[in-house]
Chains A and B, each alone.
Chain A
Amino acid sequence: MKNWEETIYPVINSPLDFKRFWQTSLHDGVVFSNEPVTSLGVFNSASVSGLSDRKIENKGFIVILKESYTLSDGRFADNGWLQELPHPVTKITWDNYAAISKDSADELGLNNNDLVEINVGNRKLIIPVFLQPGAADKTITIELGYGREKAGIVGTNVGFNANVLLSKNSGQSPWIYSNAEIKKISGTYKLASTQEHHAFDKGLTKDAPNRRGLIRTGTLEEYKKDPDFLKSEKGLDQPTFYGQHLKTLYTGTKWGMSIDLNKCLGCGECVVACTSENNVPVVGKDQVERSREMQWLRIDRYYSGDYEDPEVFNQPMLCQHCDHAPCENVCPVAATTHSDDGLNQMAYNRCVGTRYCSNNCPYKVRRFNFYDFKSHFKDSFQENNIFSLLYNPEVSVRSRGVMEKCTFCVQRIMDARENAIRENKPLKGSDVKTACQEACNTEAIKFGDMNEKESESEYNKYKNHSLGYHMLEDLNTRPNITYLAKLKNTHPEET
């Protein structure tokens, strides 16, 4: 302390007296000293001159190494939430892989999950293959950050260490290597993906999301000509035999969400935010393989077009909180019911786990605790005692054998309601922000009260937008999540 008082405190030039400075520093755990910057380096322009127009000789494949979308350079390898966050495009969890195009794979006789040996110079990597639609031929893309040997309970030995392909004197970029050789070796390695890969099947499954009306799209031109074009031109909203909605049932607040597909990037931040907010367990690779991932919110990725040049659509999918929820009437013990403010709610204590609700959910957004996930798996972070501090105390941790799903962050709604009562104000839709909404970078998600006036509620502007549609409307489930159809700008003025 004396050293601090005599030598450091005077240098820092703090406006506080020493005693307060000392306390603050202890509290913050860090002291900033204004070290002078000695000199800035000068850019050596000569280093660029040699780069221009140099042709790369390539006989074979080009290997592209890039940092992992979820784990970065591997620093987040011990984070189960990120390990289990599906890659935005491939939807693969818990692994990296060599992504190659379908034509290249056909040439080599490769299929998904086949193991290959990749040689760059004298450096060698054995890794499974994944056929990536839209990938350039003769390239191999591999994410770094996997295969760490010492990364803690979660991250140790997950995936393959592609850093072995890096070279100090690569000649080009350290991330791109030419003249790579790839050959099939015996054996396979199962990659755990949260979505099946049949997007380009011939026949019935081809373009299924568009044909089934799950993703609605149009062009900007069409929209400019007629904002209601989705309803009128494409004839998507046919006359219905179903009766009018019983609006009188919900006279007070009625919660709803809108998701703008034009804004959604499919990044998955909302998924992690939801996982963190709602104490969603990490289940581990072997359970993802068996389609038992627990994330309440998922980003559905759909392709249309062909393998070489696919069009990709992302669609966040979560409980639609249907007014006519098919899950509710089939539960034998009334464990899932509807609230007065339009939420489809789960009473975990009442749930006996028949899974009938999940079968009858057309959106398949319900998640079942097949095991006691919070302590069953070594590779989930929940095993470590200190991580119990990480749970959100506002949300109950579910036991084995119960069903769970998105609650529209009911704990936040209750909190906002309590505040409103305390402050003697009416509860407004904008008082509540769901975890996914807060995390969304592009503000694609809006949440609010659909009984508010449109002028007072941003959510209602989205909800009543002419591009708005509901998922599987013809089932008469009356979902409370409005999706805004995706518009493409085809730039007709340029062509």
Chain B
Amino acid sequence: MNSNTQEVMTDYKHEAVLVEGGLTRSDIEEFVARPLDTKPDKKFLIAITISGSMLLLGALCVGLTFWFGVGLWGNNQPVGWGFGIVNFVYWIGIGHAGTLISAILFLLRQRWRTGIARFAEAMTIFAVMCAGLFPIIHMGRPWLAGYLLPYPNQHALWPNFTSPLVWDVFAVSTYFTVSLVFWYIGLIPDFASLRDRTKTKLKKIIYSIFSLGWRHSHRNWQHYEKAYLILAGFATPLVLSVHTIVSFDFAVSIVPGWHTTIFPPYFVAGAVFSGFAMVVLVLVFVRKLFNLEHIITVTHLERMNKIMMATGMMVGYGYAMEFFIAWYSGNPFEQFVFISRALGPYAFTYWIMISCNVIIPQLFWFKRFRRSIPVMLAIAILVNVGMWMERFVIVVTSLHRDFLPSSWGMFIPTLTDFGILIGSFGLFFTLVILFTKTLPVVSIAEVKAVSEGAQPSHGDGH
């Protein structure tokens, strides 16, 4: 590896090996498509049983909440938002890595993204699905969620366009739509490949419908590349805008600890940070279970770890800056909230956040750790814990002690809160597991294109 780095520095024509093990193009197709052709094995059934049980638990808790009311949660008078919004922001953040990998890295011609883009993008879609549920279930009257949509009605009533929650509706629904379309467009050539190789009739029909008559022709590819590029262009600003708007939910308010201008960049960095941690976490298992070590290589994981470390430090800068501004602003309410975060009744959440998000990822300065599966697995889990805690710190500690000491109170989560949190992970992993069995987890067409000898060449790298 050391010699490789040397080459990178001296030989500008060098390209890193993206597909290891000398796989041929038919090998790639075989490796990726194999899980779709085989019957579910024991490992798959165990996994789906666990995640499905978690999902059912969550569904039960949501059902109880719908029946009895949000009173089943820990929310109360000073703390109007609790786990519901914490989970919403957390899941929206998880989605960001997918879009960054598939869109921004595509536009930046980062060809190493091909091995992981499909999976990361799928995770985006599932994470946004999880996230999108929370604003609805946290409402007092979820059956009226439609009031947030701007639809013409006989009362001539519109949503309040000055409210960040309405911006959220647009931001999240746009994000979901664009991600889904982008993902589907990328899948079309693979659907065609699957259609061509499958032997079952039903699958053939389904794949035929979804491949939209793709014939691998030059014209097909030409249109495809253009559409993909345009959609990547659409998706790119969304990486920045969606979490910016989510951060406006807080920044637009006047609550000390929320009312700060650093929130948009700090939220986006945090989103990418937690998103990459989640992608690493899931891919470590997927590449092992589906024997995709040659396609999703340690180099891929190492690069993601680098991004994690970079965004983790941005988040750390955000934490430091919040404190600095609280002091610098001279606003006693703001100062109180930040001191209370670090030393108050919820101090343990703050220190979990700092250690998981700022201190522990520093291990990635060492190449040894960046390339070690157990280390990155542990860090990825801790970063997810830390980032969930970050949202808890922001939402709950800011609210529980605001302007009037008379109305201060504590937020104590209930079993229902935890049930729904577990349920959201159940939903996410159930979708991920089903995805691995129904669609190619790696883009076959793209990986073939970056495998050795795929591009016309004169043999000297040109």
User: Chain A: residues with CB nearer than 8 A to chain B?
Assistant: 195-196, 198-199, 204-205, 208-209, 211-212, 214, 287, 290-293, 298, 300-302, 315, 317, 326, 329-334, 350-356, 358-360, 362-364, 367-372, 376, 399-403, 472, 475, 477
Contacts and interface: CB of A to CB of B under 8 A. Distances in A.
Contacts of B77: 291-293, 358, 364, 367-368
A371 B64 CA distance: 12
Contacts of B254: 326, 360, 362, 475, 477
A400 to B, nearest CB: 5
Interface residues of B, number: 52
A77 to B, nearest CB: 26
Interface string B146-177: 01100000000111101111100100000000
20 contacts: A196-B408, A198-B408, A208-B405, A290-B74, A291-B409, A291-B410, A330-B163, A330-B253, A332-B169, A351-B141, A352-B141, A352-B147, A355-B75, A355-B80, A360-B253, A363-B404, A368-B70, A376-B68, A399-B141, A400-B140
B78 A353 contact: no
B345 to A, nearest CB: 10
A401 B404 CA distance: 25
Nearest to B405: A208
Nearest to A358: B80
Contacts of A212: 332-333, 403, 405
Main secondary structure of the interface of B (DSSP, over half): loop
B3 interface: no
B339 A371 contact: no
B140 A329 contact: no
A351 to B, nearest CB: 7
A39 B159 CA distance: 77
A431 B139 CA distance: 39
A370 B405 contact: no
Contacts of A472: 403
Interface in B333-379: 333, 336, 339-340
B332 A401 contact: no
B175 to A, nearest CB: 18
Interface string B65-85: 000111100111110110000
Given A290-B76, A329-B162, A332-B166, A402 B140 contact: yes
Interface in B68-118: 68-71, 74-78, 80-81
Given A326-B253, A333-B148, A355 B140 contact: yes
Contacts of A364: 77-78, 402-404, 407
Contact of B165 (A195, A208, A214, A356): A356
Given A329-B162, A332-B165, A371-B68, A356 B80 contact: yes
Contacts of A367: 77
Nearest to B399: A359
Interface in B125-147: 135, 138-142, 144-145, 147
Contact of B403 (A211, A291, A362): A362
A346 to B, nearest CB: 13
Enumerate the 3 nearest inter-chain pairs by beta-carbon distance, A residue then B residue, closest first: A353-B140, A401-B140, A370-B71
A376 B404 CA distance: 30
A362 B402 contact: yes
Contacts of B69: 369-372, 376, 400-401
B406 A300 contact: yes
B255 interface: yes
A350 B145 contact: no
B187 to A, nearest CB: 34
Nearest to B144: A352
A302 B407 CA distance: 11
Nearest to A403: B140
B229 interface: no
Contacts of A317: 404, 406
B336 A353 contact: no
Given A300-B406, A352-B145, A334 B165 contact: no
Contacts of A293: 77
A401 B71 CA distance: 9
Interface of B: 68-71, 74-78, 80-81, 135, 138-142, 144-145, 147-148, 157-160, 162-166, 169, 249, 252-255, 332-333, 336, 339-340, 399, 402-410, 412
B427 to A, nearest CB: 22
A317 B405 CA distance: 12
Nearest to B146: A352
B141 A353 contact: yes
A434 B79 CA distance: 29
B297 to A, nearest CB: 45
Contact of A351 (B70, B75, B140): B140
Contact of B339 (A198, A199, A204, A372): A204
B330 to A, nearest CB: 12
A334 B148 CA distance: 10
A211 B332 contact: yes
B159 A333 contact: yes
Given A212-B332, A370-B70, A371-B71, A401 B405 contact: no
B450 to A, nearest CB: 45
B405 A291 contact: no
A302 B405 contact: yes
A63 B403 CA distance: 38
A358 B141 CA distance: 16
Given A290-B76, A354-B139, A368-B77, A330 B165 contact: yes
Contacts of B142: 352
A351 B135 CA distance: 14
Given A291-B409, A359-B81, A350 B157 contact: yes
A333 B78 CA distance: 21
B404 A362 contact: yes
Given A291-B76, A332-B147, A354-B135, 20 more contacts: A195-B406, A196-B409, A204-B339, A211-B332, A291-B77, A292-B76, A330-B252, A331-B163, A334-B158, A351-B141, A352-B141, A358-B80, A359-B80, A363-B403, A364-B403, A364-B404, A368-B77, A370-B76, A370-B140, A371-B68
Contacts of B404: 214, 300, 317, 362-364
Nearest to A207: B405
A360 B166 contact: no
B159 to A, nearest CB: 6
Nearest to A213: B332
A329 to B, nearest CB: 5
A332 B245 CA distance: 14
Nearest to B135: A354
Nearest to B80: A355
Nearest to B155: A350
Contacts of B162: 329-330
Contacts of A214: 404-405
A441 to B, nearest CB: 22
A123 B144 CA distance: 58
A370 B75 contact: yes
A354 B165 contact: yes
A198 B410 CA distance: 12
A302 B406 contact: yes
A317 B409 CA distance: 16
Contacts of B340: 204
B339 A329 contact: no
A178 B318 CA distance: 61
Contacts of A195: 406
A303 to B, nearest CB: 10
Contact of B160 (A198, A298, A333, A368): A333
A205 B80 CA distance: 22
Contacts of B80: 355-356, 358-359, 368
B139 A353 contact: yes
B403 to A, nearest CB: 4
Contacts of A403: 140
A205 to B, nearest CB: 7
B403 A401 contact: no
Contacts of B158: 334
Nearest to B162: A329
A302 B406 CA distance: 8
Contacts of A300: 404, 406-407
